[in-house]
A and B are shown apart, each in its own frame.
Chain A
Amino acid sequence: MDCSHVFKFKVNRLIVVFALFLAFFSVASPAFSQVDSVVVAQDTAVVAAHAEGESHGAKHGAEKFEPTKVIMEHIADSHMWHLWGHTSLPLPVIVYTPAGLDVFSSGNFHHGEHDYTSAKNTYRLVEDKVKIVGADGQIDEAASAKLLDFSITKNVAAMFVAIALILIVFLSVAGSYKKRAGKGPRGLQSFIEPIIIFVRDDIAKPNIGHNYAKFMPYLLTVFFFIWFNNVLGLVPIFPGGANVTGNISLTFVLSFFTMIIVNINGNKNYWKHIFLPNVPFWLWPLMVIVEVIGVVSKPFALMIRLFANITAGHIIVLSLISLIFIFETVAMAPVSIAFVLFMDVLELLVAFLQAFIFTLLTALFIGMAVEEHH
């Protein structure tokens, strides 16, 4: 089936949305960018610990380095994007409260030091979560529970970066296919083409069967989205570094898509296998329960696998870096760096493997749902 006109239309719309997003950021960022001169414990624990290691506790002696806290801060989502030292890029906060919608920059919190008062509410940043402050200066728990946070957080912004990268790469590749129709691939094309062929020939075809073409757009999208985000997560400096695929909300959404696609495309054999399995009648009630649980537990395992693998990778790398600050000596640095280098190379493999496994299992589940009995 030729769906290229729909694709074209959607891509056009995506480009418009993304251009608006970029315009918003480029207009807003000069106003947002700020350099704080004050040392803030919350965002800069590593820097503080570094200073502690250098001055041997003369200045920051009271502040002990807690690896668990620092690591959890680094793998968690955040309302600002830490760039270097005490500089971070504030991201827009979008909250829906009982009083109405509020949009402001997270730079107004000054790394959680100050409260921000808008026309509707007063907000405070507590452990990187936006809370409403009551009239008495205390956090209003009842109102905070009703607050819905739709902010462009670090993970969301990193996801937009990945989406932009994917769009740039694939639109240019698609363009060169149109321009150079019938000729051999060239440049970026020759890098991307084998991967697409790999997804088609090694993932989609053997698992789905002759009807694979219908599912290729989803499989390719999910493969490259996970892969790009995994690899960007390994980059320690600005446009990377966010733990996007190690966020359970994102993996939940991806596996939810898989579940929907599998069940929508399930043919009568698939549903018969679930509700009328070919077993002795006394086993029937048990089998139906098991099969129905299987419908949910398969995507659930996909969700946990991606989340846990990527989060574990980030935790290991951060723990190895933390060794320097635990032993409080520079002599530990070469050992730590060697191990981090080793782990990063291994994570590069894991980044690809997890994207591959997610796509492979998705294709497998789709294949089970569309399989025809002969």
Chain B
Amino acid sequence: MVGSIAAIGAGLAVIGAGIGIGQVGGKAMEGIARQPEAASKIQTAMIIAAALIEGAALFGVVVALLGNNPV
């Protein structure tokens, strides 16, 4: 049972990251479409933002991973 609850936790963490990175990616696309000459700057900023969001989600995944092994 512990394993399946940990898996639900990991799934919830991934939902949050998915929404967040989706927003970032979508807006970056819009920005690049409006200003193609700023593409490289937007890309760098996008990757930083995505990395920060992903970091929060990965905390959740790591906790789920640790919770998976009842000691």
List the interface of chain A (C-beta within 8 A of B). 68, 202, 206, 301, 304-305, 307-309, 311-312, 353, 356-357, 360-361, 364
Question: Complex formed: what's the CA distance from A353 to B61 in Å?
Answer: 19
Residue-wise, chain B 29-71 has the 8 Å CB interface mask toward A (1 for contact) of: 0000000000010001001100110110011011001001000
Pairwise interchain contact A361-B44, C-beta atoms closer than 8 A = no
In the bound complex, residues from chain A placing their C-beta under 8 Å from that of B47 are: 353, 356-357, 360
B interface secondary structure, majority: helix
Contact at A360–B58, with CB atoms within 8 Å?
Answer: no
Residues of B within 8 A of A (CB): 3, 40, 44, 47-48, 51-52, 54-55, 58-59, 61-62, 65, 68
Evaluate contact between A305 and B48: CB separation under 8 angstroms: no
- Docked pose: A206 CA to B51 CA in angstroms: 18
Nearest CB of B to A159, in Å: 22
Q: Which residue of chain B has the shortest Cβ distance to A309 in the bound complex?
A: B58
B10 CB → nearest A CB, Å: 10
Report how far A202 CA is from B41 CA in the complex, Å: 9
The answer to whether B58 and A305 touch across the interface, beta carbons within 8 angstroms, is: yes
Which of A68, A206, A304, A364 is B62 in contact with, Cβ under 8 Å?
A: A304
A356 to B65 CA separation, bound complex (whole angstroms):
25
Q: What residues of chain A lie closer than 8 Å to B58, measured between beta carbons? A: 304-305, 308-309, 312
- Knowing that A202-B40, A312-B58 are A-B contacts, what are 17 other residue pairs whose CB atoms are under 8 Å apart, sorted by A's residue number? A68-B3, A202-B44, A304-B58, A304-B59, A305-B51, A305-B54, A305-B55, A305-B58, A307-B62, A308-B61, A312-B61, A357-B47, A357-B51, A360-B48, A360-B51, A361-B48, A364-B48
Tell me which residues across on chain A come within 8 A of B48, comparing CB atoms: 357, 360-361, 364
User: Please, which residues of chain B bring their CB within 8 A of the CB of A68?
Assistant: 3, 68
* Complex Cα spacing A301 to B55, Å: 6
Residues in A with CB closer than 8 Å to B54 are 305, 309
A192 to chain B, nearest CB (A): 21
Q: Can you spell out 19 A-B residue pairs with CB atoms less than 8 angstroms apart? A: A68-B3, A202-B40, A206-B44, A301-B55, A301-B59, A304-B58, A305-B54, A305-B55, A305-B58, A307-B62, A309-B54, A311-B65, A312-B58, A312-B61, A353-B47, A357-B51, A360-B47, A360-B48, A364-B48
Chain A residue with the shortest CB-CB distance to B3: A68
The CA of A364 and the CA of B34, in the complex, are separated in Å by 27
Bound form: Cα–Cα A304–B52 in Å? 11
Residues of B within 8 A of A361 (CB): 48, 51
Q: In the docked arrangement, what's the CA distance between A202 and B58, Å?
A: 26
Inter-chain CA distance A68–B68, complex, in Å, is 10
Contacts of A206 in B (CB 8 A): 44
Within the complex, the shortest CB–CB distance from A204 to chain B, in Å, comes to: 13
Q: Smallest distance from the beta carbon of A309 to chain B beta carbons, Å?
A: 7
Q: How far apart sit A364 and B49, CA to CA, in the bound complex (Å)?
A: 12
User: Within the complex, what minimum Cβ distance (angstroms) separates A194 from chain B?
Assistant: 15
The distance in angstroms between the C-alpha atoms of A68 and B65, with both chains bound, is: 11
Closest 7 CB pairs of A and B: A308-B58, A357-B51, A301-B55, A305-B55, A308-B62, A304-B58, A308-B61
B residues in contact with A311, CB < 8 Å: 65
Rounded to whole Å, the gap between the CB of B34 and the closest CB of chain A is 21
Question: In the bound complex, what is the Cα–Cα distance between A157 and B13 (angstroms)?
Answer: 34
Whole-angstrom distance between the Cβ of B6 and the nearest chain A Cβ = 11
